[in-house]
Structure 1
Amino acid sequence: MDYRKIYNGVIVPMVTPIGSSGKIDEPAVEKIIRSFIQTRVSPFILGSTGEAPSLSVIQKRGLVEASVKAIKKQSLLFVGISGNCLSESIADGQLFAEMGADILVATPPAYYPMTNNQMIAYFSALADALPKPLILYNMPAMTKHNIPVEVVEVLSRHENIVGLKDSERDEQRLEILISKFKNRTDFVYLLGWAAMSVKALTLGASGIVPSTGNIVPVLYRELVDSLQKGDKINADRLQHLTNNISRLYQEGRVLSESIPALKALMSLKGLCGKEVVPPMYRMKEDEEQLYLKEMNATLKELNVL
């Protein structure tokens, strides 16, 4: 089976819409996912952008249920099962697969340091127990350690591990990994560093995972399509434009601040509310109102609203 024909293109790490009561905002989930389907991109729920470590068991199950209902099998659904307890990640993976997840995604456990052999043993045990394919998720900014290239190589031979989503901001690593896997049909490389989308796709990456796709999925779809058509000039234009949009909520902010700002931007498009889950918090009211006023004007200038 050629996984490059299955797990490719644009996969958006979706925010988790939360209502004021703390429950999953199901109408917002449907609205966001429909915007993805209309632009031929796939959702990845329960990742870092989706505030997964902060969600309760009930919230996670509610999001999976709402997403499966909204997607109506018109796209693949990627679902995160990252955690520090192997048995709980296995249980989540089995349940979410039963509920309708197509692919499961996991980082290494985030608390204890891990040797290469420990990491190989952990992911092998996880993949062995899952009824759906597993994608490795490298996010050292959050887990505080990365998945070494040599570990990825070993795990890429596991029959139920089908790819790597890599969010490490290291150009040399990006080039090394793509060169190793671009000609493999049984393992894919997905870039989680959106600012390098054109470079990675040009080198042979199978797909990109841009958080800014929550706001402008159509621009990333056009970027991928442009490269497939050989139109690098337009792809470079779109890379520049999407990078500028990303800066609107990322620049000068750590992730726990940028996600509330991202949801605020999305609220301007009527996609979801501005609620986040502790330990994340919304901006102070006066700051938020000023930000929304400025961003409303900026997004209109960029022809995004």
Structure 2
Amino acid sequence: MAQNHAVTVLLYTMSTTMNKPKFQGIIPPMITPLLEEDQIDILGLERLLDHMISGGIHGIFILGTTGESTSLSYRLRHELVRLTCKMVNGRLPVLVGITDTAATESIRLANTAKEEGAAAVVAAPPYYFNLGQPELIEYYEYLIRKLPLPLFLYNMPSHTKIIIEPNTVKTLSNYKEIIGLKDSSANNAYFNNLVHKMKDQPDFSLFVGPEEIMAETVLLGADGGVNGGANMFPKLYTKLYEAAKTGDITRVKELHSVVMQISSQLYSLGHYGSSYLKGIKGALSLMGICSDYMASPLHRFRAEDREKLACNLQRIQERVDQLQLR
């Protein structure tokens, strides 16, 4: 594993107003490399981390939706935190997903994250009871009194059936322990409303999940993307972020078209709601980085779809190579 700390880039800065850590850039939601249902692909994890870090990413988010967090045993979640933090070894910040229906389990995992050197935790609303917004505020207020690390809110209404409404985000942002939000709603109106509402709090980080809209949201004021494709092509996404951040529209269009090719050709095979995740894991396996084993109830692509994936991946890889990303 690479240990060259001299090439480490500034990953987040401290705000001078509320002393909040400010995160920016591309923070991939890392897949969880598995060999079996309850066994981490340790060599694959190491290769994946080095692959993404060498591509210039600005942080790592583990145990999110892309990481199959809800399908993993509690033992495995804690083990993944320990292994990831050890392998990253301070080269960039690690964010740990602690979303759970039991607050006690969220807090236990957050304590492990703190002990292992993670930088922050990320929590979506608990996904069983349909909480009202006042109840949601109370839930996060309870969490932050117990958490040892700064907290990112995670808006994921397709999975939790709860939207963290902009006014709720505004209320919660007044707590110094709550430092940002990741939005995976794919709702541009919602996200633009957030950017507008939070414009007087520049130390509150706003990230978008769907990579298909990352560049435009950064152009409009977002702080970066939590984009699954950066597991495979980290340089493509970091360069797209940089182009959007500097307003280089020509470059944005060029790189964004490849992101859309990835979306249409790697994430849309078969007729599965999980095709996005199957595509990423399958591509990483074909690239020789890690296993494509998926935790139940999901399963990797079968032979026919895997062959299609291999053909599509080759075309995308050729196009990425033509871009000569440096």
Q: TM-score, normalized by length of structure 2? A: 0.88
Question: Are residue 259 (structure 1) and residue 277 (structure 2) matched?
Answer: yes
Match of 1:8 in 2: 24
Identity of aligned residues (%): 31
Deviations 1:103-157 (A, max 9, x none): 1000000011111110000011111211110000001111122111111111111
- Could you tell me which runs of 5 or more consecutive residues in structure 2 were left unpaired when the two chains were aligned: 1-13
> Does the CA-based 8 Å contact 1:197-1:239 persist in structure 2?
no
Deviations 1:247-304 (A, max 9, x none): 22322654423212211111121111110000111223x3244234423432344246
Query: In structure 1, how many angstroms separate the alpha carbons of the residues matched to 2:247 and 2:37?
Result: 48
Question: Are residue 150 (structure 1) and residue 196 (structure 2) matched?
Answer: no
Return 294-303 or 5-14, whichever deviates more: 294-303
Query: In structure 1, how many angstroms separate the alpha carbons of the residues matched to 2:112 and 2:36?
Result: 27
Match of 1:283 in 2: 301
Match of 2:7 in 1: none
Match of 2:264 in 1: 247
Return 128-137 or 191-200, whichever deviates more: 191-200
Match of 2:292 in 1: 274
1:266 corresponds to which letter in structure 2?
A: L
Task: Tell me how far 1:170 sits from its aligned partner.
Answer: 1.2
1:37 corresponds to which letter in structure 2?
A: I
Query: 1:97 is matched with which residue: 90, 94, 114?
Result: 114
Match of 1:58 in 2: 75
Number of equivalenced pairs: 304
Task: Tell me how far 1:102 sits from its aligned partner.
Answer: 0.9
- Could you tell me which runs of 5 or more consecutive residues in structure 1 were left unpaired when the two chains were aligned: none
Match of 1:27 in 2: 43
Query: In structure 1, how many angstroms separate the alpha carbons of the residues matched to 2:233 and 2:61?
Result: 15
Query: In structure 2, how many angstroms separate the alpha carbons of the residues matched to 1:303 and 1:28?
Result: 23
> Does the CA-based 8 Å contact 1:139-1:146 persist in structure 2?
yes
Query: In structure 2, how many angstroms separate the alpha carbons of the residues matched to 1:287 and 1:127?
Result: 47
Query: In structure 1, how many angstroms separate the alpha carbons of the residues matched to 2:237 and 2:178?
Result: 26
Root-mean-square deviation (CA, aligned residues, Å) is 1.9
> Does the CA-based 8 Å contact 1:182-1:189 persist in structure 2?
no
1:72 corresponds to which letter in structure 2?
A: N
Q: Structure 1 residues 303 and 164 mapped into 2: Cα distance closer, same or farther (>3 Å)? A: closer
Query: In structure 1, how many angstroms separate the alpha carbons of the residues matched to 2:306 and 2:266?
Result: 14
Q: What are the equivalent positions in structure 2 for 1:84-123 lying under 5 Å apart?
A: 84-123=101-140
Match of 1:201 in 2: 218
